């Protein structure tokens, strides 16, 4: 609290040429500063935001000083939040129901009004927004595939929003466009395509990246669909495993294939795709596209890419690898074998915002053949992509995208890569997988736990039921299943209300609700895993 | 520079209990601080980032102090950048060709490596990334529809990235999900739908918002396409004007309609849609969707929504209004009449990141009928949208989206609305339109200028040719056209190389390259408009 305040106070003081008396008081204050509890003491007296408004900030005349003070005040709120996020004595969340937040919490009112509010209120709003949110960077937040708060990545995002530009042309994003190009090339090298050749783009999330893959596959084999629509193609069939991400289904609906023309192949829990040949013979249909998942969302399973690639090559089918979750393992010499054959794919989705800890959003679609992205999506808008610019316009990448404006998602990732090196990502990934092995070994034979699938997890997903003592004697059957189904939701609800930790649960197929533990947070340690288990037992013991 | 440094220096000093000698030296330094030139003096001596690495930051043990120092150092880079952005003596950009940046500029090397770089280098990279970028917030940046750097919006983005969460569930984004809901309702009220009823979502840009509108229209009339594909529907036809945004074309290609089934209706420069009835009779085709543009990209023209709505109602066609650019005018009592009839639309695209100055990205798709978004896109993924959560799960909005993870685009907008009030947005918009009228009046009869279309602009788009003296005597014809076509690109290239200002140009139909001036930057004043005109004349006089 006090560091910045003091500096501001001092310089404000010096600039104002105050009296010697005030000067000595200041120095005295300063020398007694102990970097704690200083917040309340200084702010109100020195900088009064209650009479300041957005209109007083830049570009307002003489708005520079207020602007800097306001931004530094915001930064103080953010750095306090960051400090607490990594502090295990802080709660992961302070849960409230929607109606509670909508009714308004002591001075935090979500309603928008016609008249402006003071910057004092804006700062309160910032503080409260964080207060009632969820600390996704907390070492005990295990709820999603994207967790953690990387400091360099965060700095990258702050810079990105300050630069406030758009990826469509080199003209207005020269550095970012080149960073994207170099980073995509590096990713393609890691996938294993010769010299990193190929194409790609960062997209707003893995679902859109997967959608791109289906669009490009269609364009490759039936380019006339672009102009004539699906009527110009035969009935096209897509394949994916029943455990693959639902975005493949969303894409098949959106792009006009229809979800019934997406065939969900049977899998087991550890290896998807028992066989493509379990599909009934296809009459009058053309198989277009196969999605192999590298790291399924719930089980973390890896489809056997080489086996699938053999079939795709034989029948000339587009092979996409959805490595949104598992792609990060390519950075690890120890674990990348789980994606063996990925270099045979025609396209790959890889989300650095998941396993690599890059802040949201950061997802790439990589394409082996150059030119397809452009061919599929280009519409040559004259107002953006003028051919007579003074620079090499092949760097204007906007016409490859289904978006027009595109957020700068590359900088934070590029900066993290610089700061950690490839080896830093590798260490992070190896550590997370070690931690999940630790969890697996801890609970596999522990009383009160049943694993959803046998064997060590391939990714960091550890799926399990916690069986409260009251259910341990019950024979398997409808009653036990019904009661067990309610256990995870109850524990999760209590967890959220006590705010101590968060982990996801879901049913899957015939399986009743179970916990899915995933580890991607660099802040997590064995003690946090131990804590989670203790907490599940504390909350679930009497169910 | 000095404020924060000093504060840090002082507290560092106090924490370390240094000798009294050092203490007096410190106080002396402090009292001589004049808030300029302090940067180089303090940083290197006090905080040595050259031996610090990303791994030393949180969550590293004892990493808190380094983390705070690093982040504050980044903030200093950013606040310096912001200060300069609003300073007219700073260049808008420091242009380099792609090959120059790729070769590396004095210590700025874009290549990624296996080993980590020091935080010192990371800070240099941050500084250089900004140095070689484009200041889109500069008062003389007129190049895109999105310009400016709103300080409150920026603070909102910094907070958003610090919170680093995802919009799909209330569970992990309780506050943001509610803010989105309330803000969308407010926007629908402003559109004019009774009680703000309806639906909507923030999407990654106007192109995706427009794509949503086509998807929802198809779902409304042919819901079976979701499961059975386009084969289940008759041949569907979409309509838009020839001046509408190219994203409608992208959507028709991506979604399986085919661009040939998108009919581009003739327009004039000021009012699009001369008539739907100029379309040849449609045999065997079903007209599904009409896009009316509120603010075309190049001319800023508004389609007559009421006339189009009459036809859509008569033939039961979905009416979408693409107000990506013009939607902001709804906030102005003076200008909202240009969107008369918008309340009759079935869906509306409205990008606050354009005319309302919200940082990128912030785009909304609003839908009049509730339930269609969900119906069209939902796939009920069990691992995210568990029905047995402890809170009201209708707040889990993720299944409405074609994305899975979705970036938090709402907070900066909500915060700006709080800080400016509705009236603040109105003032901003009125001011920008006044400025464009000033420009129009300044050049409409000025020697050396020809307007691309007659009459006062409806939006802030002012389209014109600058005719260098050497072309002024030439009769209209092939030679003059050919030479005039080269004028705007040449001036633009020189502008970028001198870095003084930026404005877009393009050809349109038969019209050779002309400048398209747009004003959305709150920092721009009449003096900046004057500067632009002077600059065009300075650079173009001898062509």
B51-81 pLDDT, tens digit each: 999 999 999 999 999 999 999 999 999 999 9
Q: What is the DSSP string of B99-168?
A: HHHHH-BTTB-----SSPPPHHHHHHHHHHHHHTSB-TTSTTEESSSS----HHHHHHHHHHHHH---TT
Residue-wise pLDDT tens digits, A134-166: 999 999 999 999 999 999 999 999 999 999 999
Q: How far apart are CA B368 and CA A207, in angstroms?
A: 26
Of B9, B24, B46, the last residue of a domain is B46
- pLDDT > 70: what percent of chain A? 89
Residue B242 lies in a domain: yes
Q: Which pLDDT belongs to residue B70?
A: 96
Percent of chain B topping pLDDT 70: 89
Look at residues B394, B416, B438 and tell me which one is the last residue of a structural domain.
Answer: B416
Per-residue pLDDT at B28 exceeds 50: no
Which is more confidently placed, B484 or A397?
B484
What does the alpha-carbon distance between residue A429 and residue A460 come to, in Å, rounded to a whole number?
9
In a domain, B422, yes or no: no
Q: Please give the Cα distance from A208 to A200 (Å, whole number).
A: 13
| CATH number, position A412 | 3.40.640.10
Taking CA–CA distances from B247, the nearest residue in chain A reads A404
pLDDT for res A18: 40
Distance CA B504, CA B433 (A): 18
A388 and B154 within 8 Å at the Cβ level: the answer is: no
- Rounded to an integer, the average pLDDT of A53-77 is 96
Which range of residues forms the domain containing residue B393? 164-416
Question: Does the beta-carbon distance from B207 to A404 stay under 8 Å?
Answer: yes
Q: What would the pLDDT profile of B228-237 be if each residue is shown by its tens digit?
A: 999 999 999 9
What is the per-residue pLDDT for B15? 42
**Residues of B whose CB is below 8 A from A55:** 420, 424
Residue A216 has pLDDT above 90, yes or no: yes
Confidence of residue B451 (pLDDT cuts 50, 70, 90): very high
Cβ A243 vs Cβ A301: under 8 Å:
yes
Mutate to test the interface with A, among B109, B142, B172, B251 (most CBs of A within 10 A): B172
Residues of A in contact with B492 (CB under 8 A): 389-390
Give the tens place of pLDDT for each residue, B378-416.
998 888 889 999 999 999 988 999 999 999 999 999 999
d(CA B296, CA B459): 9
Pairwise CA distance, residues B465 & B514, whole Å: 5
Chain A: closest CA distance from residue B309 (Å): 26
| Residues facing residue B239 across a β-bridge | B263, B290
Cβ-based contacts of A179 with chain B (< 8 Å): 110
| CA–CA separation, A127 and A134 (whole Å) | 13
Locate B347 and state its tokens.
């869906």
pLDDT tens-digit readout, A247-279:
999 999 999 999 999 999 888 755 555 455 545
User: Where does A1-150 have alpha helices with state H?
Assistant: 2-15, 20-31, 38-46, 64-85, 98-103, 119-131
Contacting residues of B for A231, CB less than 8 Å apart? 230-231, 235, 258
Task: Tell me if A233 is assigned to some domain.
Answer: yes
Number of domains within chain B: 2
Mean pLDDT of chain B: 90
Segment B109-128 shows an average pLDDT of 97
* Beta-sheet strands, E only, within A87-163: 141-142
Assigned domain for B440 exists? no
State whether B171 and B320 are in the same domain: yes
Q: Is residue B425 part of a domain?
A: no
Question: pLDDT tens across B245-297, in order?
Answer: 999 999 999 999 999 999 998 887 555 554 555 455 566 789 999 999 999 99
Contact B82 A33 (CB under 8 A): no
Q: Do B256 and A260 touch (CB under 8 A)?
A: no
pLDDT over 50 (residue B22) = no
pLDDT value for A271: 52
Angle of CA points A38, A40, A44, to nearest 5°:
120
- Looking only at the bridges linking them, the beta strands covering A262-265 and A235-241 are parallel
Which residues of chain B have a CB within 8 Å of the CB of A382? 506-508
Query: Sheet containing B318-323: which strands, arranged edge to edge?
Result: B199-203, B363-367, B347-350, B318-323, B285-293, B235-241, B262-265
Closest-CA residue of chain A to B257:
A229
Residues B253, B257: Cα–Cα separation, whole Å:
6
**What span, in angstroms and rounded, lies between the C-alpha atoms of B153 and B521?**
14
A298, A402, A502 ranked by CB distance to B207: nearest: A402
Q: How many residues does the structure list for chain B?
A: 543
Mean pLDDT within B491-496: 98
ipTM metric: 0.92
pLDDT recorded at residue B383: 86
pLDDT band at A517 (very low <50, low <70, confident <90, very high): very high
- Residue B111, pLDDT > 90, answer yes
d(CA B499, CA B495): 6
Question: What's the whole-number mean pLDDT along residues A366-388?
Answer: 93
The C-alpha of A318 sits at a distance from chain B's nearest C-alpha, in angstroms, of 18
Mean pLDDT of A518-542: 97
| 8 Å CB contact between A93 and A498 | no
Confidence of residue B10 (pLDDT cuts 50, 70, 90): very low
Q: For A103-181, list the strands marked E by DSSP.
A: 141-142
Q: Has residue B91 been placed in a domain? A: no
Which pLDDT score, from 0 to 100, does residue A279 have? 52
> Phi and psi of A60, rounded to 5°?
-60, 145
Average pLDDT score over residue span A449-476: 95
Q: Are B210 and B324 in contact (CB under 8 A)?
A: yes
Residue B537 lies in a domain: no
Q: What 3-state DSSP class applies to A292?
A: strand
Nearest to B256 by CA among B316, B209, B211, B291: B211
- Kindly state whether residue B116 falls inside one of the protein's structural domains: no
> Residue B445: is it exposed, middle or buried by C-beta count within 10 angstroms (0-12/13-18/19+)?
exposed
Average pLDDT over residues B433-459: 96
pLDDT at residue B47 in the model = 83
For residue A203, give every residue at least 6 positions away whose Cβ sits within 8 Å of its Cβ, in sequence order, or none.
A209, A212, A363, A364, A365, A401, A403
pLDDT of residue B25: 42
Q: Which residues on chain A are in Cβ contact (under 8 Å) with B99? A: 392
CA distance B311 to B307: 7
Whether residue B116 and residue A423 make contact (CB cut-off 8 A), yes or no, is yes
**Integer Cα distance of B77 and B127 in angstroms:** 6
What pLDDT score was predicted for residue B226? 98
């Amino acid at each position: 609290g006090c560091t910045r305040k003091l500096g501001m106070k001092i310089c404000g003081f010096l600039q104002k040429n105050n009296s010697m008396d005030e000067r000595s008081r200041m120095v005295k204050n300063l020398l007694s500063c102990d970097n704690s509890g200083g917040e309340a003491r200084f702010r109100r007296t020195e900088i009064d935001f209650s009479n300041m408004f957005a209109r007083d900030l830049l570009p307002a005349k003489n708005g520079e000083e207020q602007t800097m003070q306001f931004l530094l005040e915001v930064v103080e709120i953010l750095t306090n939040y960051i400090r607490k996020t990594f502090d295990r004595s802080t709660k992961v969340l302070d849960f409230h129901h929607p109606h509670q937040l909508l009714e308004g919490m002591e001075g935090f009112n979500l309603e928008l009004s016609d008249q402006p509010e003071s910057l004092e209120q804006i700062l309160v709003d910032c503080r409260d927004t964080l207060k009632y949110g969820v600390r996704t960077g907390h070492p005990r937040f295990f709820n999603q595939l994207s967790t953690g708060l990387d400091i360099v990545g965060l700095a990258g995002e702050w810079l990105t929003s300050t630069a406030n530009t758009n990826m469509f042309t080199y003209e207005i994003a020269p550095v970012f466009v080149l960073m994207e190009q170099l980073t995509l090339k590096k990713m393609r090298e890691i996938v294993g395509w010769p010299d990193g050749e190929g194409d790609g783009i960062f997209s707003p999330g893995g679902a859109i990246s997967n959608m791109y893959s289906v669009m490009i596959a269609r364009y490759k084999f039936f380019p006339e669909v672009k102009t004539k629509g699906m009527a110009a193609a035969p009935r096209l069939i897509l394949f994916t495993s029943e455990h693959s991400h639902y975005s493949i289904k969303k894409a098949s609906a959106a792009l006009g294939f229809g979800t019934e023309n997406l065939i969900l192949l049977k899998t087991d829990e550890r290896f998807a795709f028992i066989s493509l040949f379990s599909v009934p013979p296809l009459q009058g249909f053309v198989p277009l596209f196969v999605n192999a998942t590298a790291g399924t969302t719930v089980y973390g399973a890896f489809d056997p890419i080489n086996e699938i690639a053999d079939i795709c090559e034989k029948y000339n089918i587009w092979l996409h690898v959805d490595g949104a979750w598992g792609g990060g393992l390519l950075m690890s010499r120890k674990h990348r074998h789980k994606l063996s054959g990925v270099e045979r794919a025609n396209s790959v989705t890889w989300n650095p915002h998941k396993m690599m800890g890059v802040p949201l959003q950061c997802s790439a679609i990589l394409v082996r053949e150059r030119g397809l992205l452009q061919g599929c999506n280009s519409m040559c808008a004259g107002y953006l992509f003028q051919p007579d610019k003074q620079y090499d316009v092949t760097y204007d990448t906007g016409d490859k995208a289904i978006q027009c404006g595109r957020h700068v998602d590359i900088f934070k990732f590029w900066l993290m890569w610089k700061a950690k090196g490839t080896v830093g990502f590798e260490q992070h990934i190896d550590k997370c997988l070690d931690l999940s092995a630790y969890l697996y070994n801890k609970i596999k034979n522990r009383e009160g736990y049943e694993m959803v699938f046998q064997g060590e997890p391939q990714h960091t997903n550890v799926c399990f039921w916690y069986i409260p003592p009251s259910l341990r004697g019950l024979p398997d059957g409808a009653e036990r299943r019904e009661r067990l189904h309610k256990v995870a939701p109850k524990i999760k609800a209590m967890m959220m209300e006590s705010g101590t930790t968060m982990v996801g649960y879901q049913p899957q197929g015939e399986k009743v609700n179970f916990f899915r533990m995933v580890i991607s947070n660099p802040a997590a340690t064995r003690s946090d895993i131990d804590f989670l288990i203790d907490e599940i037992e504390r909350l679930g013991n009497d169910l």
